[in-house]
Amino acid sequence: METLMDLANDAPLWTPSPERIARSAITGFIATVNARHGTALTSYRDLHAWSVAQPGTFWDEIWELGEVIGDKGGRSLVDGDLMPGAQFFPDATLNFAENLLRPRDPTSTALVFRGEDKVERHIAFSELCALVSRLQQALRAAGVGIGDRVAATMPNMPETIAIMLAATSIGAIFSSCSPDFGERGILDRFSQIEPKVYFACDGYWYAGKRVAIGDKLRTVAPHLTSVRQTVIVPYLGEAAEVASGIANGVALEDFLTPFAAQALTYERLPFSHPAYILFSSGTTGVPKCIVHGAGGTLLQHIKEHRLHCDLAPGDRLFYFTTCGWMMWNWLASGLASSLTLCLFDGSPFSPTPEVLFDFAEKERFALLGTSAKYIDSLRKEGVKPGKTHDLSALKALTSTGSPLAPADFAYVYEAIKPDLHLASISGGTDIVSCFVLGDPTAPVYKGEIQAPGLGMAVEVWSDEGKPVIGERGELVCTKPFPCMPVMFWNDPEGAKYRAAYFERFPNIWCHGDFAETTIHGGLIIHGRSDATLNPQGVRIGTAEIYAQAEQVPEIIESIAIGQDWDNDVRVVLFVRLREGVRLDTDLEKRIRTQIRTGASPRHVPAKIVAVADIPRTRSGKITELAVRDVVHGRPVKNTEALANPEALELYRDLPELAS
């Protein structure tokens, strides 16, 4: 049985040594703040309280910590009581790419790439700058300028980083998705933002399979009517062939041929000038286009990399991500802290479940970032990387995408590394960063995210708009922060933007997560608010059910919804079982017992149904809302947002749910 009280009474899984705390960037930053501002801060909690009480001063210090290249101007925060409406550094000018390509040893390694086709590349800083220079010149020659959009359907490979840097260096806005997106998914995103130049790869590798996408691109390209040139990047060796079948197509090599590398130039623009357009998952309609500013993104990522992750120049940063997930943008910003970015494209289980740890050992990752689902899969497969790999360089492991189950916290310390800062983190596309994440100076407790982010006034509120501790409620942020979206694209009056975050509680950011503050000052995320179950009027987070159900060995994964039934809502749990396992009366009983004892009787599902697959978004998140719509006979508005839309048919007109 694992209740919140049990979690609160658990001993920490890991506590940093006094020496580690003393040499941490957090401790050094506290000393700087005390010296400059006459404060007497002694801990992360003190620092957090100061950061939200003095936001202008705090973010000014982050600018200094990051040695941001640009003109800061005289004001750090204007209209700090308005949300939306607050302006951070309204007089500042900077360039996003200039800060990521800050001077460093030209021979140092900027990027390491490993592809599933066994390709390995090490890109020196000088080599990266040369490629960005040639791309910068080619984009200008194609007519790209300040405010224009550059879109990319690309794997997580060095060329994608270089394209982003070239676009933002000239003040253009970069947007990306991964090459596994379908035609409709690409068009739903990029047709809204009307890119001037479109980059795409000729294909990719996944789970040992070579996947060519030339036919898809030939279908997509004619519908992107704003595009002047479609540039095909080689990965499968078919770039020229694919480009020849597109009216405005050109292979990357030919796009760059006229231009020799030269000194880079940068357009310095206002702090809030857009750098990125990211997209909501799109499972309830056409994806929202979320515009993020250069300055806010830069400062937030510098803060998270240097303070929350305790990374130092030269450290190797890895995140398992595609270019359709905001963690790619987060990873890319590591260049601003002179980190080496380690890029991987392909399946994390091909050819073996240890492939990411092979990469980690060889390249000596300081931080390995991944999804909670990946960690859970490793545990269920019985993989023990700590026994088979040299992970002595690994300082931190971060997990996001969904809540990390308590059993998986324990697994990390038992099977990966006992002396490791494990940080479950949560935020999202909406802020291209985190609301709650790691504190490298504090203990790690099973099932808990350690702390709210510095400068983020995070609280959990009741339905009445009151802060609560030890009770479930809405995750909110009560004060402005610089990485709030600049705007939504095609939302000139800001109505969609305000409706997304500020309708529930005026002047308060309501994030849409169902959460709980613990007695340690940490947080537990119980799932998305819009997926919260309400049997008999009691709010239940789906993550609480998954944490228990997936401890049953026969269950690979699960998804829970609320089904409208008999003037109430009943909980239905769908389970994907291991091969050869049948959902019989005994297994159903064990599942219910595990949920009842591990969570509560209210969490026990009224119905348990075995399914062959569970639908996911392209960033790997299960989608309760789409399943709920199918079960209730409602149309799913945008199946292109799903990686496996065919799985939805498994939930239609189920006889088990008719009684």
Q: What is the pLDDT of residue 634?
A: 87
Contact 46, 60 (CB under 8 A): no
Q: What is the pLDDT of residue 531?
A: 72
Q: Residues 356-374: pLDDT tens digits?
A: 999 999 999 999 999 988 9
Q: Residues 336-359: pLDDT tens digits?
A: 999 999 999 999 999 999 999 999
Is residue 524, in this structure, part of any structural domain at all?
no
Both tokens of 639, joined, read 């199946």
Q: What is the mean pLDDT of residues 553-557?
A: 93
**Domain shared by 224 and 94, yes or no:** no
Contact 553, 577 (CB under 8 A): no
Q: Residues 581-613: pLDDT tens digits?
A: 999 999 999 999 998 888 778 889 999 999 999
Would you say residue 3 has pLDDT above 50?
A: no
pLDDT bin (cut points 50, 70, 90) of residue 537 is low
Is residue 284, in this structure, part of any structural domain at all?
no
User: Distances in Å between the alpha carbon of 649 and those of 54, 285, 403, 493, 626?
Assistant: 52, 19, 27, 39, 11
Give every CB contact of residue 211 below 8 A, 6+ residues apart in sequence: 179, 180, 203, 204, 205
CA angle 645, 648, 654 (to 5 degrees): 165
- CATH code (residue 258): 3.40.50.980
Would you say residue 507 has pLDDT above 80?
A: yes
**Domain shared by 319 and 453, yes or no:** yes
Q: What is the mean pLDDT of residues 396-402?
A: 92
Is residue 163, in this structure, part of any structural domain at all?
yes
Rounded distance, CA 658 to CA 639, Å?
25
- The percent of residues above 90 in pLDDT, for the chain, comes to 81
- The most confident of the ranges 171-185, 225-239, 268-282 is 225-239
| Domain final residue pick, 238, 254, 270 | 270
Q: What is the pLDDT of residue 529?
A: 75
Q: What is the pLDDT of residue 252?
A: 98
Is residue 109, in this structure, part of any structural domain at all?
no
Q: Residues 441-471: pLDDT tens digits?
A: 999 999 999 999 999 999 999 989 999 999 8
pLDDT bin (cut points 50, 70, 90) of residue 185 is confident
Would you say residue 207 has pLDDT above 60?
A: yes
How many Cα atoms within 13 Å fall on the side-chain side of residue 547? 31
Would you say residue 538 has pLDDT above 80?
A: no
- CATH code (residue 560): 3.30.300.30
pLDDT bin (cut points 50, 70, 90) of residue 386 is very high
**Domain shared by 584 and 626, yes or no:** yes
**Domain shared by 9 and 44, yes or no:** yes
Pairing of strands 523-528, 421-424: unpaired
Give every CB contact of residue 562 below 8 A, 6+ residues apart in sequence: 533, 534, 535, 569, 570, 571, 572, 628
Is residue 288, in this structure, part of any structural domain at all?
no
Q: What is the mean pLDDT of residues 133-159?
A: 98
Is residue 234, in this structure, part of any structural domain at all?
yes
Q: What is the mean pLDDT of residues 181-209?
A: 94
Would you say residue 191 has pLDDT above 60?
A: yes
pLDDT bin (cut points 50, 70, 90) of residue 9 is low
Q: What is the mean pLDDT of the chain?
A: 93
Would you say residue 141 has pLDDT above 80?
A: yes
Q: What is the mean pLDDT of residues 111-127?
A: 93
Is residue 434, in this structure, part of any structural domain at all?
yes
Would you say residue 270 has pLDDT above 90?
A: yes
Q: What is the mean pLDDT of residues 169-192?
A: 93
Residue 598's domain comprises: 534-657
Q: What is the mean pLDDT of residues 226-252?
A: 97
Would you say residue 7 has pLDDT above 60?
A: no
**Domain shared by 99 and 22, yes or no:** yes
- CATH code (residue 333): 3.40.50.12780
User: Distances in Å between the alpha carbon of 473 and those of 362, 459, 514, 517?
Assistant: 43, 9, 6, 9
Q: What is the pLDDT of residue 2?
A: 42
**Domain shared by 93 and 129, yes or no:** no
Domains contained in the chain, number: 3
